[in-house]
Structure 1
Amino acid sequence: MARAVVVLGAAHAAALAVTAADAADLAVKAPPQLAPAANWTQFYVGAGLGFDFASGQSNLAPVGGGPSLFSLDGLQGADLGLSAFAGFDVQVAPRFVVGGFVDYDWSRQRTTVNVGGAGFGQTLTAAMPSLDQGWTIGGRAGFLATPDILLYGLAGYSQMRINNWNLNYAVLGGGPSFTVQEPALTAYGYTVGAGAEYRLANNWSLRGEYRYVGLGHNTTVDPLGAVWTTDLSEHVIRIGAAYRFGQFGGAATTAAAPALNPAWTGVYVGAGIGGDAITPHVAASAPGILDFNAAGLGGADVGGTFTIGYDRQIAGKWVIGAFGLIDVATNGGASITATGAGAGGTITSDLASVKWAWTVGGRAGYLVSPETLVYVLGGYSGSTARSVSYDLFGAIQSTSPEREYHGATIGGGFERFFSDRISARAEYRMTHVETRDDLTDSFFTSLSAGGTIHTLRGSLVYHLPTP
């Protein structure tokens, strides 16, 4: 019996050993890995750049009513704009973020026009209303398309300081004349807009944003006894960077995303959409008859871009490359109409706008993460401006020639891969074109033009496989 027990015990022990060995050979299913995802509940500060453009209408009338002394419809001006902002966000659900913000904007807008001459018998000189600086306080609410990409809308209250009218009209040799030099105007209104923000890391993010600022109906009474009314709105387009403080909401987690293998070295093609703003300066003369000078009387438009280029990743964190691109744009037929008392008619003109442009250049960038590049660019551009048709007081009608203008382009942006071959980028470019003085049309015997073009684009890019 004792011998039987020993044999059975030994057999049982052997069976347990074999079972344990077999179990050790079986694959063990690991628990799903969770990767930390930065919670959006944070305070932040930041800065941005882009362009602003104004649109609206103005009217100057005597106190107590009567025929208008001067009116302007289609007022537009555009130029470089800068912003500084601060705010806070609260992630109220896995996919939703709400927050508040305050920002301050500066603009270089300044639009001036001079029309006159001895042969024409009258002169009109005007510095038009334009954005100087202002602030907005408001809130935003957004949806997390991914843990790091926030798509949001915003609304708020704005107060803007407007450079007001400086106007002089005179009939040479005697006749109706007036001078208006209004002090700077503080306008109040509302802001609505939308944007996208991408978190590079827990404490840094990049954003692109559009805001419309409605400044409503503003009235001032001139010391000379005239009432000036202006309806003005501002369009503000920016790309910017923000520094986000700490992790106030506690860490969030999400299932780890598949690792990307971004192809920074190689050929790429892309297409995008965005906006342009042109700030031209134009001088024209018909000797003995009429002289015309304007600065900043430009417009803004919706534009598209097609690009091709080659990048090479060097030294681990750096990318350099060359590119060529074509921009196309439309200004929607924007025009301006001015009427002055005693002028015997009106001045009407299309606004300067870009028809299409090309740029060749290079870029250099730093990889803040394996799939995100922040870069600067430079190049040389040729921009074709649309022909401008004008009518001066019903006496002179003509169309300016369509010409190509050349100049240097500088800018910057950021780009992020969403798959191994597809990336998205946001980019700002500024092109300063040289002045051409070899222009003529059917009326002006001397005509010159030049200026600055601001371009903002969001694009999708496909990176071709490397042979």
Structure 2
Amino acid sequence: MKKILLVTASMIALGAVAPASAADLAPQPYTKAPPYVAPTPIYNWTGFYIGGHVGGAFGGNDNVLAPGFGGGNDGVFMGGVQAGYDYQFAPNWVMGLEANYSFLDTSSSFANRGLGSVTGRLGYTWGPALLYVKGGYAWADTRFSNGFGGDGGRDGYTVGAGLEYMFTQNWSGKLEYQYYDFGTVNVSDSLGFIGSFRNDQHTIKAGLNYRFNLGGPAVARY
């Protein structure tokens, strides 16, 4: 009987001590889970690229060296190649350097038959899209004959703008306008000077580039 009483008394004492010990413990802090943020893709424009383009070339109002001048339509088909390098920084700006050459579809004995350029470009990118402007040196592959001469036929300048879209890690497509100005060309015959005109050209083209992406593939930011 005494053993039973001792066991009962011990259990009662333990029951009284346990709640007091639990009360001395500090409450567990509550941490709210951060809200879910969907990953934002980052497209990398840094690296070398090569590509090709097709489009149309249109001479200025009085440019008799335009491929289609005098034929009822001063626009002709053009196609060519381009290569360059881009560098992305800050982090949505892209600057680069590009070399470009376009063949013009003409059989004229004196028209511009090709247009080349070396340009710098600066653009702003948001995701896979890049809006840019460009400008630099231009060169015309021109047949000087039939009384045409002067220093306005081959070297000049070019400016333009375009939109490029990166639809995979290594491939991008673009739409671009580019203006070429080669200065004034003099016209003369055996008797001397006849007149002059502006040798300028407008081009609109669609292009496709393969990008080597030296900076690595596109990644996701969380």
TM bin, normalised by shorter chain, reads: 0.7 to 0.9
Counterpart of 2:86 in 1: which secondary structure?
Answer: strand
Displacement of 1:90: 1.2
The equivalent position to 1:135 in structure 2, one of 84, 93, 116, is 116
1:37 aligned partner, one-letter code: I
Please name the residue that 2:211 is paired with.
244
Equivalents in 1 of 2:15, 2:21: separation in Å? Answer: 10
How far is the alpha carbon of 1:152 from its aligned partner? 0.9
Give, in angstroms, the shift of residue 29 of structure 1: 3.5
Distance 2:63 2:46 in 1: 44
2:176, 2:204 within 8 Å by CA — same for their partners in 1? yes
2:52 is aligned, of 42, 47, 51, to: 47
1:130 positional shift: 2.5
Indicate if the aligned counterparts of 2:148 and 2:185 stay in contact, CA closer than 8 A.
Answer: no
- CA pair 246-58 structure 1, distance change in 2 beyond 3 A: closer
Q: Equivalent residue for 1:93?
A: 90
SS at match of 1:57: coil
Deviation at 1:35? 3.6
CA contact (8 A) 1:46 1:243 kept: yes
Is 1:162 aligned to 2:180, yes or no?
no
State the identity as a percent. 28
* Contact 1:131/1:160 (8 A) holds in 2: yes
Does residue 147 in structure 1 map to residue 144 in structure 2?
no
The number of residues matched between the two structures is 203
Query: Residue 252 of structure 1: CA displacement?
Result: 5.9
CA–CA separation in structure 2 for the residues paired with 1:243 and 1:198? 12
Relative distance call for 1:204 and 1:11 in structure 2 (3 A) is farther
* 1:450 aligned residue: none
**Residue type at the aligned position of 1:151:** L
Q: CA deviation at 1:57?
A: 3.4
Preserved CA contact (<8 Å) 1:131 1:163:
yes
Aligned residue for 2:37, secondary structure, equals coil
Report the Cα offset of residue 83 of structure 1: 2.2
Query: Which residue type is aligned with residue 106 of structure 1?
Result: F
Whole-Å Cα distance in 2 between the matches of residues 157 and 28 of structure 1?
57
Note closer, same or farther for the CA distance 1:108–1:164 as it changes in structure 2 (3 Å cut). farther
Greater relative contact order (CA < 8 Å, ≥ 6 in sequence): 2
Contact map agreement 2:186 2:197 (CA 8 A) in 1: yes
Change (3 A) 1:12 1:99: farther
Does residue 197 of structure 1 match 2:164?
Answer: yes
Change (3 A) 1:164 1:78: farther
Q: 1:206 aligns with which of 173, 180, 183?
A: 173
Question: Structure 1 CA distance, aligned partners of 2:16 and 2:127?
Answer: 63
Instruction: Find the aligned partners of 2:14 and 2:153 in 1 and give their Cα distance.
Output: 103
Say whether the 8 Å CA contact 1:54–1:131 is kept in structure 2. Answer: no
Whose radius of gyration is greater, 1 or 2? 2
1:280-303 Cα offsets, whole Å, 9 max, x none, are xxxxxxxxxxxxxxxxxxxxxxxx
1:58 Cα offset (Å): 6.8
User: Kindly tell me: are residues 39 and 9 of structure 1, through their superposed partners in 2, closer, same or farther at Cα, counting changes over 3 Å?
Assistant: farther
- CA shift in 2, pair 1:11/1:204, >3 Å: farther
Q: Quick one: distance in 2 between partners of 1:33 and 1:231? A: 55
Q: Helix, strand or coil: the match of 1:201?
A: coil
User: How far apart, CA to CA, are the structure 2 residues paired with 1:35 and 1:156?
Assistant: 35
3-state secondary structure, aligned to 1:109: coil
Indicate conservation of the 8 Å contact 1:78/1:109, yes or no: no
The answer to whether the Cα contact below 8 Å between 2:181 and 2:200 also exists between their aligned partners in 1 is yes
Distance change >3 Å, CA 197–CA 86, structure 1 → 2: same
